[in-house]
Chains A and B, each alone.
Chain A
Amino acid sequence: MNMEPTIDPKKRYAAGVMEYAKMGYWDPDYVPKDTDVIALFRITPQDGVDEIEAAAAVAGESSTATWTVVWTDRLTACDLYRAKAYRVDPVPGTPGQFFSWIAYDLDLFEGGSIANLTASIIGNVFGFKALKALRLEDMRIPVAYLKTFQGPATGIVVERERLDKFGRPLLGATTKPKLGLSGRNYGRVVYEALKGGLDFVKDDENINSQPFMHWRDRFLYVMEAVNKAQAATGEVKGHYLNVTAGTMEDMYERAEFAKELGSCIIMIDLVIGYTAIQSMAKWARRNDMILHLHRAGNSTYSRQKNHGMNFRVICKWMRMAGVDHIHAGTVVGKLEGDPLMIAGFYDTLREGHTPQNLEHGLFFDQDWASLNKVMPVASGGIHAGQMHQLIHYLGEDVVLQFGGGTIGHPQGIQAGATANRVALEAMIQARNEGRDYLAEGPDILAAAARWCGPLRAAIDTWKDVSFNYASTDTADFVPTPTAV
């Protein structure tokens, strides 16, 4: 312990109700240990509730406390097990909201279990009446705890080695329409897109096994398409076969079949749950399979700023849980995404160490303890004409997915894929040559479009498409000019 308890045990354990802060869940002098899990919450107390008491209540309800004093605490090393709120700051520019730092001893958690971690951190406490709203903004996961997790089954580096693709973003597309295609028609879309130049095609999150296309039929036709495209191009190709199903047994059956057919990648949806994700990550490691995760459902709790959890926390948990790909925003596409916030997500997924960076929403230094890197996936309303912006914002270790931007091409799916691939390679070439590709992007694309008809048609079709809406999840800390 950092300090002598200042609380008189006789008074502390007298039967009845007591403020959480007085029960030991608020300790402004506490210095977190290297092995502590730290959570940063945004709390909005009810009117009349003191922010320190609110923070202590969150610490209490997410660790050992209940609504009343219990003498059985005294049978335990309760000072250790109590989570400690140790800092409360007002949220800049947002009256009524506070950031609260809470430290948890490592022994509160089972090793290697996201389910156990989350049952505490985002358990009962989010329904707590004394708070109007609560949001988990970030977590510092200690190295000691990270080492109990497998981490990504494959990781960015080994994925690239298996695919033999280096130095550029990977290209993908989601088969469209999302629903209704038969297996035979579905495979056609896959073949055309892969032959035209994409690296991956993808099942959508809600393509599982429906009356219009049962999963085995899809898997068989898709693998015909993948192999045929591979022979047509001499290049490794893949399709994320979505094995999401109603039970683990069904998912394992589908994953085994995908392996038997020679697929290099499968996919799951976030809605299957943390334990199921960890199970599939272990299966993927055992079977040399790349594991793609679609973040279906996350916006129900990650988008609004006052309640739920920030997506960066999902990024951390999913890197621990062991997925290889996760959808993490596009900046320029149709889905939520402030550029600074997305930079924070991408760093969290790809870096070996992320320093504190409040403008990017990263509240803690985080050492990733040699866990593999996760490949972020940018998907949703992006097209070839934005290539310079995509590379600028997202870097090269990313899968750029142009679904509509491939399949909706006026000259057909192959032409759509070729347009995207030519735009990508031209931009990477220009970047490597040292050109100011962000400023010159439209010129670089126009030059490539002079010899590449499909790119010319793509640019003509989508040149004015953009999605300029204000983001809801933005940084609370803005850069301010300071005199040094």
Chain B
Amino acid sequence: MRITQGTFSFLPDLTDDQIIAQVQYCLDHGWAVNIEYTDDPHPRNTYWEMWGIPMFDVPDAAGVMLALADCRKAHGGTNYIRMSAFDNTYGWESLRLSFITDRPASEPGFALDRQERGGRQIGYTTRAYSAMKPEGERYS
């Protein structure tokens, strides 16, 4: 399966030129771009690992692409990598854009466990098949 988190997951994987265009859009708005990666794609896994701190003072997209290249070298193929853009404008102070740039070679998806309770109620637990292995060994 293909997980569809992030803004552009229904499009074909973005090329580097397409990523640069999105990064430039963020920088033009004064947002700080942040690179994160994870091998646990659970929909409620909010805190992916940060690849450095958000790039508050990068003048152009090329600097961000260098950081992405480093992150790919370390985690490409075995992790999801996403870019997020943070807007510190008063009244927002949160993300303005977030999209996946890299995916592991295969995406096994999620199991849905059901715990039958009384009164026809079911408790649901979503588990990433990959996360059943130890961290770092989930995609190889």
B140 within 8 Å of A (CB atoms): no
B30 within 8 Å of A (CB atoms): no
Say whether A231 contacts B4, CB under 8 Å: no
Say whether B4 contacts A197, CB under 8 Å: yes
Say whether B91 contacts A164, CB under 8 Å: no
Q: Mark A41-53, 1 if CB is under 8 A from B, else 0.
A: 0000000000000
- Complex: how many Å from CA A64 to CA B97? 52
B72 within 8 Å of A (CB atoms): no
Contacts of B1 in A (CB 8 A): 232-234
A95 within 8 Å of B (CB atoms): no
List residues of A (440-475) whose CB comes within 8 Å of B's CBs. 448, 451
Q: Is the interface of A mostly helix, strand, loop or mixed?
A: helix
Q: Mark B17-39, 1 if CB is under 8 A from A, else 0.
A: 01001100100000000000000
Residue of A nearest to B11 (CB): A425
- Complex: how many Å from CA A262 to CA B85? 29
Residue of B nearest to A156 (CB): B92
Contacts of A428 in B (CB 8 A): 7-8
Contacts of B111 in A (CB 8 A): 231
Contacts of B106 in A (CB 8 A): none
Name the distance in Å between A414's Cβ and chain B's nearest Cβ.
12
Say whether A157 contacts B94, CB under 8 Å: yes
Residue in contact with B4 in the complex, picked from A157, A233, A352, CB distance below 8 Å: A233
Contacts of B41 in A (CB 8 A): 234
Residue of B nearest to A197 (CB): B10
Name the distance in Å between A219's Cβ and chain B's nearest Cβ.
10
Contacts of A373 in B (CB 8 A): 91
Residue in contact with B22 in the complex, picked from A223, A370, A429, CB distance below 8 Å: A429
Q: Mark B108-138, 1 if CB is under 8 A from A, else 0.
A: 0111100000001110101010000000000
Say whether A164 contacts B11, CB under 8 Å: no
Residue in contact with A227 in the complex, picked from B42, B109, B112, CB distance below 8 Å: B112
Say whether B126 contacts A231, CB under 8 Å: yes
Contacts of A477 in B (CB 8 A): none
Name the distance in Å between A192's Cβ and chain B's nearest Cβ.
15
- Complex: how many Å from CA A451 to CA B10? 11
Say whether B7 contacts A164, CB under 8 Å: no
- Complex: how many Å from CA A426 to CA B12? 10
A8 within 8 Å of B (CB atoms): no
Say whether B126 contacts A230, CB under 8 Å: yes
Contacts of B96 in A (CB 8 A): 166-167
Residue in contact with B8 in the complex, picked from A352, A429, A434, CB distance below 8 Å: A429
- Complex: how many Å from CA A391 to CA B86? 21
A220 within 8 Å of B (CB atoms): yes
- Complex: how many Å from CA A429 to CA B13? 12
Say whether A166 contacts B43, CB under 8 Å: no
Residue of B nearest to A351 (CB): B91
B58 within 8 Å of A (CB atoms): no
Say whether A157 contacts B93, CB under 8 Å: yes
- Complex: how many Å from CA A166 to CA B84? 9
Say whether B4 contacts A426, CB under 8 Å: no
Name the distance in Å between B128's Cβ and chain A's nearest Cβ.
8
Name which of B7, B12, B121, B122 has the most chain A CB atoms within 10 A of its CB. B7
Q: Which 7 residue pairs of A and B lie closest in terms of their CB atoms, listed nearest first?
A: A234-B3, A167-B97, A231-B112, A227-B124, A432-B25, A231-B110, A433-B21
Q: Can you report 30 A-B residue pairs in the complex whose CB atoms are below 8 A from each other?
A: A157-B91, A157-B94, A161-B94, A161-B95, A166-B95, A167-B7, A167-B99, A168-B7, A197-B4, A220-B122, A224-B122, A227-B124, A228-B112, A230-B43, A230-B126, A232-B1, A233-B4, A234-B1, A234-B5, A260-B121, A262-B124, A418-B10, A421-B10, A425-B7, A425-B9, A426-B11, A428-B8, A429-B11, A433-B21, A448-B11
For the A-B complex with A220-B121, A236-B43 known, give 20 more contacts whose Cβ atoms are closer than 8 Å.
Answer: A160-B94, A164-B43, A164-B98, A167-B95, A220-B120, A220-B122, A227-B124, A227-B126, A234-B128, A235-B9, A236-B44, A261-B121, A262-B124, A352-B90, A421-B10, A422-B11, A425-B7, A429-B8, A429-B22, A433-B18
B→A interface (CB under 8 Å):
1, 3-5, 7-12, 18, 21-22, 25, 41-44, 46, 84-85, 90-99, 109-112, 120-122, 124, 126, 128
A→B interface (CB under 8 Å):
157, 160-161, 164-168, 197, 220, 223-224, 227-228, 230-236, 260-262, 352, 370, 373, 418, 421-422, 425-426, 428-429, 432-434, 448, 451
